[in-house]
Amino acid sequence: MLNFIDTLPTDKQIAGVHCIPINEQGMIMLAWDKDEQLITTIGGRVENSETLEEALVREVMEEVGITLMEEKIPFASWYWSSTDTYTVWYLSKVKTLGKYDFQNEKTWLSYK
């Protein structure tokens, strides 16, 4: 179940991070997942010894070619009973939209 949060959960491992970036025009950015054929938030798994922020920055760049501003606000979490871990969602403003061919991951979409 998705829970709204104002602090990160500490009772279980956080294994995934996702972001809803907001561009200069105040539009949220989501991704089209061409494999699953759906619109989704941008993110993925925390790898090895990455911090949550390092994982988020990497995933957003890998998936849609954007960089985020320094401030990243956690606002929701999902507990996965199958893995006994959390995924945490963040809000952040977009710093830059890079040129990206979207061959490996996803394409981004903006919504007001």
Q: Is the pLDDT of residue 6 over 90?
A: yes
Strands of the chain (E only): list them. 2-4, 13-22, 28-33, 38-40, 42-45, 66-80, 85-97, 107-111
Query: What's the CATH number where 71 sits?
Result: 3.90.79.10
Domain count, the chain: 1
Domain containing residue 106: 2-111
What's the pTM? 0.85
More confident residue, 70 or 104: 70
- Integer CA distances (angstroms), 67 to 4, 15, 60, in order: 24, 21, 7
Q: What is the mean pLDDT of residues 67-95?
A: 96
pLDDT at 62 (0 to 100)? 86
